[in-house]
Structure 1
Amino acid sequence: MGWPKNLFNNIASYTRNSKNEYDAERGQAISRIITVPLIFLYMMIAIAVSGRELTIPIAVILIYSIIYIPGSWLLLRKIVQNPGYNFKRRVFAISNDYLAMTFAMAIGGAITTPIFAMVLWVTVGNGLRYGLRYLMAATGLALLSLAATTYFNSFWRAQPYVVITFIMTAILVPAYIYVLLNRVHKAYNSALEANLAKSRFLAQASHDLRQPIHAISLFIACLRDAQLEDEEQKMVNNIDRSLQSVASLFQSLLDISTLDSGKISAHLEDVAIGDILHDIAQQNSKAAQWAGVELKLVRTRKFVRTDSNLLTTMVQNIVSNALKYAAENPVLIGTRVRNGKLSIEIHDRGPGIAGEHLPRLFEEFYQVRERGDKDTEGVGLGLSIVQRLSKLMGVEISLRSVVGKGTTVVIGGLNIVAEPVRSAEITRLKPISMLDGLRVLLIEDDINILMATGILLEKWGCIVQREDALPEGKPVICDFIITDFDLGAKTTGADCINYIRRKNGKNIPAIIVTGHDENRVRDDIGDPEIPILSKPIRPAELRSTIMAMKLRTEQQMLAV
């Protein structure tokens, strides 16, 4: 009994374009190639059974079907090759549909009268697929079809009340559909406006609240190096742990609002999947320690073509869920090759999830809650973000869970690529040293963040020049630039970097720090060599980024 469902799913999948979005023209074209042969088959059977003579010879019907049916396949091919809105192609297809149905009804006397049901179906279908204007146009074509059929079909002329019934049906049904569609569109626009308002609020709230969280995180890092007693160090660790929970919450809010805006797109590149998973494991090592989780990673040397930032967000959200819900149990991150594609698998041995919850796990704000359960951090956005990103990237996401045994989440369908060819030249690298003597220009309009970041950089050995705005007219000699993106007075971090580089006559390495979506900032600065760090930044992330860029700059100078 499973084959009808599989057939339906396969047909439904063909109605989607390369971005996994429903394509109305493709759906109509597929309906056409399925229904038109059935109509002609019905006509031939009905003619054979009734034995009535036709006003047009059978040969004409066969010739018409031989032209029209392959033409339907050709139209589908054109739509698949060139998807998207095409007014001329759409008008051509709709006109030919009504021409074919009119031809069928006009030549068959009484036996082709049931084809009027197809006329009504196509009329309503055009309105539902393409909108109100197409519904009105299709209704007009349907009435023209009825008029032409009545003129050529003697049976219809002999049944005026049947024709009147068909005309009234062809007007009243689309008119009712028009009213319903108009109401649906108004409700949709209201819901869309409310959703956009929610997204704007979440984006602004998460951005504004990330500023003090970022400052607190930096002050905590300064406290760690202040030679505190054991009791004070424990308190600092507890504050840091609570702060990371809040930071994770606002990161989820920012992610969901950015996805709602539709401004995220996948930027594919060849990346080492092992490096991504290793970085995620390292970033979650402290959180795993807090949760009592043994976080294991199975290394791989495979390379895949994907968007490393979006994939990192997906895996990070899944791992965070595992650490929360499988505390005191081991968590395993690994990969597997399935049918020539790479899958990332995250296994935990937590309590598992009951079957009634599984269909809703990817809904926004849904959390598995049983009576008497203790409170769990988060708001239930992690898996919703993962599912949205999977559709954006064209990969598959699946989840299976057994109560008492644990949960497995799989990101599948990643395209494996060959390892990029690396230069055979061996460069002698000096060991990575501390940042002693590195002259850093720090630009930040938030005084608390400016103070905290400056103190932290000085503890690392840097010589810091602090500025709360673009340092126009001031002497600036620096080896490195760290700047916020939004600096007020219509000035951005990109403007500051360009100004300092022009003033010094060299390409000074720089980092931009922001509370906004990375893609938005990346499009603004237009320089892929400038790293973008999202607030709140972990001090270790900031330090490693500075050291990596410093090392790269030194290598480039040695190569010259």
Structure 2
Amino acid sequence: MTDVSSRPPTGLWAPLADSALVADRYRSLFSQMLPSLMGNTLGLLIFVLVYWRHVSLPVLAVWAGWILLLTFGRLQHYLRFARHPEAGDAQILDWSRSWRLLLHGQALAWALGIWMFYGAGGHFQLITMVVLTYCYCLAAIHLLTLVPRDLGVFLSLVLLSLVINMAMDDGRPYSLELAGVLCVLYVIALVMGRTYHHTLRNAIALKVHADRLAEQLRVEKALADENRRAAEAASRAKTQFFAAASHDLRQPLHALGLFAEALRQRTHDPEAAKLINSINESVDALEGLFGELLDITRIDTGAVDVNPKAVPVRELFARLRLQFEPVAFEKGLMLSFHGEQHVLHTDPTIVERILRNLVSNALRYTEDGGVLVSCRRRQGQLLLQVWDSGIGIAPPALTRIFDEFYQVQSQRPLEPHHRKGLGLGLSIVKRLAELLQTPLTVNSRVGHGTVFGLTVPAGRLEPQAMGSLELGRAPLGLTLDGRLIVIVEDEPAVSEGLVVLLQAWGAEALAFDSVPSVRAWAQANPGQRPDLLLVDYRLPEGATGIDALLAVRAVYAGIDGTPIPAIMVTGSTMTGHELDAQAHDFHVLIKPVVPNKLRAMIAFKLGMRS
């Protein structure tokens, strides 16, 4: 497609050979033809009334009939155009050929009428002929200015016929002078027609140019929309592919960590134990990479929706405590929460993701002391803060910590677990904060610690929604001796690894690969209530781990009145597990899970119910 916008200004005024311009001129001419035809008919009627007593009636009738016939033909062109205003350029140009023949025929008829009837009657008839003829020519200028050649032919045939007859009239005084005046009027008419023609031609050329630009814009917009839809489809496909690939890759990594820990239980070789620790650290690092990459992909593709509502800080902190207290315990750190009485008005999922990333970073870079998560009022809003006593961030790095793939370089050597990740965690935090349209701040001192702040609007709970969430603080070192743990996992390597590991920790482990098999076992053993359910999310035949929980809990529902504690260990991160976990009372671990984290969560769950 030709880019008309790149033409020079002089290129706007296309010559008559430009079919689009010529067709648009005739469209304009056809649209205003009706008033002209009515004026012509009225002028003919006046002419007949003035001359009918002074000329031969048959000749006058034949002449008038000829003009009326031509006028009727032009009227048919107008009606045809009115019925088909959407006619294309080729059709318009085809109609214009026959219309021009009718126009020239009508001009010739008026010229012959002047030759035939000039001199008939007296001064009144002559004055009427001159006035009607010139008015007829002026009306033609208005109508035919878009087609200057036709206008020139029309004026020459009609006006020059009158000029010649008047110049040859020797029987009337001042005839030659009047002929000269008519010549001047003829020239004026030609100049007027040419001036109007240039003005209207420029206006039509601008319209055609605007139409071309509009068509180009429409095509480019359609192409842009198509490209946008293709990009969105590609982004969705990329996200779905990454999620599926992530799920499939997590399974063998998870099994690898389980078998490595089981191997540790069977060997007392310090070198082997060191290698097993390295394997577990690598598995944990890969889990963090998968999570960061998937989060950044979902944000970039617009897959994260913001749905603000009233969020009790107590419940938010409770979920964070469950997830990170085992990690803090494992490192010998204190994890504290203050300000649980407040209520936020925000998207609970997004603000929890932000705090999870910040707390995870704080625990990773803190070796002594602890981490504090607080909520307090400030200027009518609520300020969420995550404090740590870690290694701190140097001032030059504070401006870059939210950049993708940037990791802080400390003045002292970092431990291996500090160097894990791609440097996407804080970039994800910044993007999520921008989704919430809330300011994010950071202050830090090297060697003393860091504090991140997030300002969130305050919310209000309805009275019936207010309640207390009592969450027990369990001892994390509970033994698994004598505990019955039921596993529902369809991946053989992961299932076998869990059984071996749990047995090494002293538990009795039973593994099932589907919902029907675990339901059949429960129904056959109603008195053997499990202490814990450990389930995968995706199970055979379209079933999920939630179906397995419901099936087993239904069998043992009446034994002590409390649901069996449950943990969902899954490689799927795209199914909204947070809402399911709240609805069905279970906790989620995303594969691959390092054994220490799994044991801490199991101990925590069993301690909650003890």
Instruction: Identify the TM-score tier after normalising by the shorter chain.
Output: 0.5 to 0.7
Question: Gaps (5+ residues) in structure 1?
Answer: 1-155, 555-560
Change (3 A) 1:264 1:468: farther
User: 1:199: Cα distance to partner?
Assistant: 1.4
Quick one: distance in 2 between partners of 1:324 and 1:544?
17
User: 1:249: Cα distance to partner?
Assistant: 0.7
Contact 1:296 1:331 in 2 (8 A): yes
Quick one: distance in 1 between partners of 2:596 and 2:441?
33
Which of 465, 468, 476 does residue 513 from structure 2 map onto?
A: 468
Quick one: distance in 2 between partners of 1:186 and 1:429?
55
Aligned ranges 1:379-458 → 2 under 5 Å: 379-398=422-441, 409-415=452-458, 434-458=479-503
Quick one: distance in 2 between partners of 1:192 and 1:169?
34
The superposition leaves residues 152-205 of structure 1 with CA deviations (integer Å, 9 ceiling, x where unpaired) of: xxxx9x975675466446534433322332232233233223322321222122
The equivalent residue for 2:280 is: 240
The equivalent residue for 2:303 is: 262
The superposition leaves residues 377-411 of structure 1 with CA deviations (integer Å, 9 ceiling, x where unpaired) of: 42343233223433444533345789999976432
The equivalent residue for 2:237 is: 197
The equivalent residue for 1:5 is: none
Change (3 A) 1:239 1:188: same
**Residue 339 (structure 1) aligned with residue 379 (structure 2):** yes
**Residue 511 (structure 1) aligned with residue 600 (structure 2):** no
Change (3 A) 1:354 1:509: closer
Contact 2:342 2:375 in 1 (8 A): no
Quick one: distance in 2 between partners of 1:199 and 1:427?
36
Give SS of 2:394's match. Answer: coil
User: 1:427: Cα distance to partner?
Assistant: 13
Give SS of 2:458's match. Answer: strand
Quick one: distance in 1 between partners of 2:368 and 2:312?
36
Aligned ranges 1:158-237 → 2 under 5 Å: 160=200, 164=204, 167-168=207-208, 170-223=210-263, 225-226=265-266, 228-237=268-277
Contact 2:334 2:371 in 1 (8 A): yes
**Residue 531 (structure 1) aligned with residue 572 (structure 2):** no
Q: Matched residue pairs, number? A: 389
Contact 2:487 2:535 in 1 (8 A): yes
Higher relative contact order (CA 8 A, sep 6+): 2
Give SS of 1:517's match. Answer: coil
Change (3 A) 1:197 1:530: same
Change (3 A) 1:469 1:296: closer
Amino acid at match of 2:584: P
TM-score, normalised with respect to structure 2: 0.51
Contact 1:342 1:416 in 2 (8 A): no
Deviates most, 199-208 or 163-172: 163-172
Quick one: distance in 1 between partners of 2:471 and 2:423?
48
Amino acid at match of 1:202: F
Quick one: distance in 1 between partners of 2:407 and 2:250?
24
User: 1:248: Cα distance to partner?
Assistant: 0.9
Quick one: distance in 2 between partners of 1:241 and 1:392?
32
Contact 2:328 2:334 in 1 (8 A): yes
Aligned ranges 1:295-306 → 2 under 5 Å: 299-305=338-344
Give SS of 1:228's match. Answer: coil
Give SS of 2:529's match. Answer: coil
User: 1:511: Cα distance to partner?
Assistant: 3.1
Q: Percent identity?
A: 28
Quick one: distance in 1 between partners of 2:565 and 2:448?
50
The superposition leaves residues 493-516 of structure 1 with CA deviations (integer Å, 9 ceiling, x where unpaired) of: 233333334555655443322111
Larger Rg: 2
Give SS of 1:489's match. Answer: helix
The superposition leaves residues 311-330 of structure 1 with CA deviations (integer Å, 9 ceiling, x where unpaired) of: 34323434555677899999
The equivalent residue for 2:545 is: 493
Contact 2:317 2:340 in 1 (8 A): yes
Contact 2:481 2:506 in 1 (8 A): yes
The superposition leaves residues 83-115 of structure 1 with CA deviations (integer Å, 9 ceiling, x where unpaired) of: xxxxxxxxxxxxxxxxxxxxxxxxxxxxxxxxx
Quick one: distance in 1 between partners of 2:493 and 2:265?
18
Which of 271, 278, 281 does residue 313 from structure 2 map onto?
A: 271
Q: CA RMSD in A?
A: 4.9
Quick one: distance in 1 between partners of 2:308 and 2:555?
33
Contact 2:339 2:376 in 1 (8 A): no
Give SS of 1:536's match. Answer: coil
Quick one: distance in 2 between partners of 1:427 and 1:387?
31
Contact 2:581 2:588 in 1 (8 A): no
Contact 2:382 2:457 in 1 (8 A): yes
Amino acid at match of 1:253: L
Quick one: distance in 2 between partners of 1:427 and 1:302?
15
The equivalent residue for 2:393 is: 350
Change (3 A) 1:405 1:222: closer
Amino acid at match of 1:511: I
Amino acid at match of 1:532: V
